């Protein structure tokens, strides 16, 4: 890593650490937490859509699914938070396998549409299985996140500030894992399949299984976000499965920079904060968000991080460039 | 090294490859020619798993590989290029070559996560291999260029480079000289010979007769899915059946 890059990254992280001290109101801190939580969704989508090039329209539904899994593990089985999170990661990847197996038999847009169909099925199951999920009434009373041993050493992440640092650390760790992961053979396999599936196969990459791993990883990361969401808001309902959310997640990834490491993180944060920031001018809120979106697409056609990579004189997506740094 | 026995594939009523027996010996350059639509690319697709044969066998080092998925066949030691230029367009030349090393490298996530010595060693070996190929193909200047921005001839060379990076012992080239100018074709002949001298067996489809006649040890001719001739370049160029397939039969116009 170059010195400039270390400087840039530590500056960025410092800003992220200081943000809740600049915006001290409970409401603004709440938005900051949500912004970080949604970065999981964006990072997950980036794995399958940005790196592996598969348009998984249904993926954002795993956010809601993760939120439900985590809530149910806590409410029905009484799992502590750490096990809820771990269980959500494992089960999300498991559901990813079940859904990915039939969907990944198809290529391109057909794959995307089928994942969306499965997302709809999940929505109907969640809203109709009233005994388990309480249907449209949603699940309430989800315990807050806490870590510790036994009853005496519990550290509870109550309040926005504590939760902000919890999700920030988790999100940055995920980002770090992803960055390193993309430097492995398997990570290069993701990108190879995005670039040319037949050629990938001819140099020994099994398209189906490599895409499957990418999809499961994406589901896992997205599900994690859902878990953090559930234990923060302490209420989940089938509304989280909304189509609106699918579009928003794609916007986050595309405006941030498809297939870059930091892009989805930044895009995710921006498009959570923006709608809230414009709340003061309620009537024009969506128009303003739309205008910003259009401006980003015009001035940063390759996304914000794609543009940054250009400024730094690099013509390839930073995802792969990293390893030469 | 590679042998096919009665290899046949039919699409409905059309028998694209019909009872082809053929063998490739280690270290040789075998050429396959034939008029358009003779089934040459289909034949390659059968060898590399992109198509499954209707009947017949493909033996690679004694193991039947017919019907295995392409990635499995690649891992056994066969790599191919495509008739339509096939590269990783969004990646740089350097990244294209590094991606080509997939077959013989490991994922080692923990090593990569911790940047351990194992990671550094593998990384060094990959870069050494990619650098060697870059030098071999005289593409050092294009190292950082995105593949999609390369000239056509360079893209075709890069395609061979990716195949070489995979370190397979058997290389199938599907019309490597297609669309190349005479100079590029000349360079390509040399490159193919040098690859053979590294101990890699080569099987190529080509329409460029000068190239085929110049570098192949043996040539197989396919027409309407059948093998109609096999022999040295000299024998093939005098074979009446081959001439007929290409130029048509002589008829008396009385």
Tell me the per-residue pLDDT of A131-145, one tens digit each, with 9 for 90 and over: 888 888 888 888 888
Indicate the residue of A196, A315, A323 with minimum beta-carbon distance to B88.
A196
Q: Say what percent of chain B tops pLDDT 70.
A: 98
* Contact across the interface for B79 and A185, Cβ inside 8 Å: no
pLDDT of residue A317: 47
Partner-chain contact B106 A185, CB within 8 Å: yes
- Taking residue A209's Cβ as centre, other Cβ atoms within 10 Å add up to 14
CB nearest A203 (choices: B69, B79, B89):
B79
Each residue of B80-117: pLDDT tens digit? 999 888 999 999 999 999 999 998 888 888 888 888 88
pLDDT confidence bin for A325, thresholds 50/70/90:
very low
A72 domain-assigned: yes
pLDDT over threshold 60, residue B174: yes
Q: Which tens digit of pLDDT belongs to each residue from B225-236?
A: 899 989 998 888
**pLDDT at position A322:** 39
Do A195 and B72 count as a contact with CB atoms less than 8 A apart? no
Residue B94 CB contacts under 8 Å (≥ 6 apart), including other chains: A324, B130, B134, B143, B144
Q: How many A×B Cβ pairs under 8 Å?
A: 100
**Cβ atoms of A69 and A228 closer than 8 Å:** no
Q: Give the domain range for residue A124.
A: 25-242
Looking at every residue in chain A, the average pLDDT score rounds to 86
**Distance (Å, whole) CA A111 – CA A259:** 19
Residue A305 lies in a domain: no
pTM here is 0.89
Taking alpha carbons only, the member of A175, A205, A8, A115 closest to residue B107 is: A205
The pLDDT value given to residue A319: 45
Q: Is residue A316 part of a domain?
A: no
Question: Could you report the per-residue pLDDT of B121-142, keeping only the tens digit for each?
Answer: 899 999 999 999 999 999 989 8
Q: Is residue A263, in this structure, part of any structural domain at all? A: no
Chain A residues in contact with B94 by the CB 8 A cut-off are: 324
Please indicate if any CB of chain A lies within 8 Å of the CB of B99.
yes
Task: Give contacts of B98 with chain A, Cβ < 8 Å.
Answer: 188
Burial class of residue A242 in the structure, from the number of CB atoms within 10 Å of its CB (0-12 exposed, 13-18 middle, 19+ buried): middle
In this complex, do B146 and A184 lie within 8 Å of one another by their Cβ atoms? no
Residue A78's CB: how many other CB atoms inside 10 A?
Answer: 10
How far, CA to CA in Å, does B12 sit from each of A9, B9, B15, B16, B68? 60, 10, 8, 10, 22
- Residue A67 near residue A40, CB atoms below 8 Å: no
Q: What is the 3-state secondary structure (H, E, C) of A143-188?
A: CCCEEEECCCEEEECCCHHHHHHHHHHHHHHHHHHHHHHCCCHHHH
What is the band of A247 on the pLDDT scale with cuts at 50, 70, 90? confident
Measured between alpha carbons, how far is B102 from A141 in angstroms, rounded to an integer?
Answer: 49
Asked if residue A53 is part of any domain, the answer here is yes
Q: What is the CA radius of gyration of chain B?
A: 20
Mean pLDDT on B156-177: 92
Give domain status of residue A63, yes or no: yes
Q: Provide the domain count of chain A.
A: 1
CB of B148 within 8 Å of any CB in chain A?
no
Q: Set out the domains of chain B in order of their start, with CATH numbers.
A: 2-77+168-247 (3.40.50.300), 90-154 (no CATH)
| Residues B88, A315: C-beta atoms closer than 8 Å | no
Q: Which residues pair with B171 in a beta bridge?
A: B79, B202
- Find, in chain B, the residue whose alpha carbon is nearest to that of A185: B107
Percent of chain B clearing pLDDT 90 (strictly above): 58
């Amino acid at each position: 890593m170059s010195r400039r890059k270390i400087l840039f990254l530590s500056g960025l992280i410092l800003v992220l650490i200081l943000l809740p001290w600049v915006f001290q109101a409970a409401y603004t801190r709440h938005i900051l937490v949500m912004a970080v939580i949604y970065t999981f969704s964006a990072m997950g989508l980036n794995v399958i859509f940005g790196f592996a090039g598969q348009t998984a329209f249904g993926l954002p539904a795993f956010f809601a699914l993760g939120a439900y899994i985590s809530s149910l593990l806590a409410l029905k089985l009484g799992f502590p938070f750490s096990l809820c999170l771990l269980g959500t990661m494992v089960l999300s990847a498991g559901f990813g396998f079940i859904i990915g197996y039939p969907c990944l038999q198809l290529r391109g847009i057909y794959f995307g549409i089928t994942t969306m169909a499965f997302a709809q099925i999940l929505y109907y199951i969640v809203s109709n299985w009233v005994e388990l999920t309480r249907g449209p009434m949603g699940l309430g009373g989800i315990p807050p996140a806490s870590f510790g041993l036994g009853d005496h050493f519990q550290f509870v992440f109550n309040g926005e500030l504590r939760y902000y640092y919890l999700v920030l650390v988790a999100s940055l760790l995920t980002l770090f894992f992803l960055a390193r992961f993309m430097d492995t053979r398997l990570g290069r396999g993701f990108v190879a399949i995005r670039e040319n599936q037949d050629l990938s196969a001819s140099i020994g990459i099994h398209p189906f299984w490599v895409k499957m791993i990418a999809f499961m990883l994406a589901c896992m990361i997205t599900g994690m976000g859902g878990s953090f969401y559930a234990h923060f808001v302490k209420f989940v309902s089938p509304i989280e499965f909304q189509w609106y959310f699918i579009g928003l997640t794609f916007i986050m990834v595309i405006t941030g920079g498809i297939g870059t490491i930091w892009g989805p993180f930044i895009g995710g944060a921006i498009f959570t904060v923006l709608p809230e920031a414009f709340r003061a001018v309620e009537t024009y809120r969506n128009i303003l968000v739309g205008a910003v979106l259009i401006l980003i697409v015009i001035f940063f056609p390759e996304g914000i991080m794609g543009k940054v990579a250009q400024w730094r004189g690099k013509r390839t997506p930073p995802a792969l460039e990293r390893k030469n740094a | 090294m590679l042998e096919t026995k009665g290899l046949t594939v039919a699409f409905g009523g059309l028998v694209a490859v019909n009872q082809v027996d053929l063998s490739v010996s280690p270290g040789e350059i075998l050429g396959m020619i034939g008029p358009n639509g003779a089934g040459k690319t289909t034949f390659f697709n059968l060898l590399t798993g992109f198509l499954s044969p209707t009947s017949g066998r493909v033996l690679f080092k004694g193991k039947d590989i017919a019907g295995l998925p392409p990635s499995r066949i690649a891992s056994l030691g066969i790599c191919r290029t495509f008739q339509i230029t096939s590269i990783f367009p969004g990646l740089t030349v350097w990244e294209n070559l590094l991606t080509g090393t997939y077959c013989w490298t490991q994922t080692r996530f923990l090593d990569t996560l911790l940047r351990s010595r194992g990671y550094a060693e593998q990384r060094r070996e990959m870069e050494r291999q990619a650098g060697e190929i870059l030098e071999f193909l005289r593409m050092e200047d294009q190292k950082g260029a995105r593949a999609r921005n390369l000239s056509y001839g360079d893209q075709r060379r890069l395609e061979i480079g990716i195949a070489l990076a995979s370190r397979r012992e058997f290389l199938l080239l599907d019309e490597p000289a297609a669309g190349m100018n005479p100079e590029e074709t000349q360079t390509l002949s040399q490159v193919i010979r040098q690859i053979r001298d590294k101990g890699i067996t080569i099987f190529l489809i080509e329409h460029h007769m000068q190239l085929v006649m110049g570098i192949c040890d043996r040539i197989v001719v396919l027409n309407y899915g059948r093998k109609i001739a096999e022999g040295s370049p000299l024998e093939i160029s005098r074979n009446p059946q081959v001439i007929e397939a290409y130029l048509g039969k002589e008829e008396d116009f009385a």
